[in-house]
Structures are given as structure tokens and as C-alpha cells.
Amino acid sequence: GDSVTQMEGPVTLSEEAFLTINCTYTATGYPSLFWYVQYPGEGLQLLLKATKADDKGSNKGFEATYRKETTSFHLEKGSVQVSDSAVYFCALRDSSNYKLTFGKGTLLTVNP
């Protein structure tokens, strides 16, 4: 079945540091890929997405590129802020039934 493996945290960075959170997947067919962010005590918010190979999703300075050859969708940001502190989930959506499969999440803490 479908699965998502993402870098285990926690990740602690200083403000303005470069961020990479690795994400790889296994899936049949042609899934869509997502990054969601969850702030403490809240639900999930879509951060960015990519629906086909070589697509790059971007939002709020975050980027991720759908790499079919390496089955990856790594999240990057050039300069993190304290307000980026949250849990980040990589996910894929099955093209046949729209179910989302999530990675385990990565807790990011950005210190001033």
C-alpha cells in the first residue's frame, strides 16, 4: 500500500537558518503530494502541493519539488522564522480514492 516516510525530528534551528525536511513515498499510480503544517492545538493547514512529476509547490517561502525518479518531495525554506515553529506533515493522495496517507510528522522549533 501507499506509505510516506519523512525525516524524524525534532528539528531545532536558529532564525534565518536553512531548512530541509526530507520526505519519500511509495505509491501505485500517480499520487498528488502535499505538505501540511499543524500549529499547537490546531488542525492541519495545507502549506503546498504538487500534482505531477517535476511540479514545484511553493508558499510562504517554502518549496518542494515532486521528484518521481527519487520518489521524493523534500520541503525547503531558505530562511526560517520563529513563527514557522510547528509540526510539518508530508502526505500523498491516492488518485483513485482521494485518501491521504501521512508521514509521521516533523516537529520544527525555530529559536530567535
Partner 1 sequence: GAVVSQHPSWVICKSGTSVKIECRSLDFQATTMFWYRQFPKQSLMLMATSNEGSKATYEQGVEKDKFLINHASLTLSTLTVTSAHPEDSSFYICSASRGATEAFFGQGTRLTVV
By CB under 8 A, tell whether 45 contacts partner 1.
yes
Part of the chain binding partner 1 (CB under 8 A), chosen from 18-26, 63-71, 74-82, 98-106: 98-106
By CB under 8 A, tell whether 36 contacts partner 1.
yes
Q: Shortest Cβ distance from residue 43 to partner 1 (Å)? A: 4
Cβ proximity to partner 1, 80 vs 103, nearer residue: 103
By CB under 8 A, tell whether 105 contacts partner 1.
yes
C-alpha cell at 93: 493522495
Q: Which residues contact 87 (CB under 8 A, 6 or more apart)?
A: 37, 38, 105, 106, 107, 108
Under DSSP, is residue 78 helix (H, G, I), strand (E, B) or coil? Answer: coil
C-alpha cell at 18: 536553512
At residue 38's C-alpha, the angle toward residues 105 and 102, to 5°, is 40
Binds partner 1 by CB under 8 A, chosen from 11, 92, 103, 110: 103
Binds partner 1 by CB under 8 A, chosen from 25, 49, 64, 88: 49
Part of the chain binding partner 1 (CB under 8 A), chosen from 21-29, 42-50, 52-60, 65-73: 42-50
Q: Which residues contact 42 (CB under 8 A, 6 or more apart)?
A: none
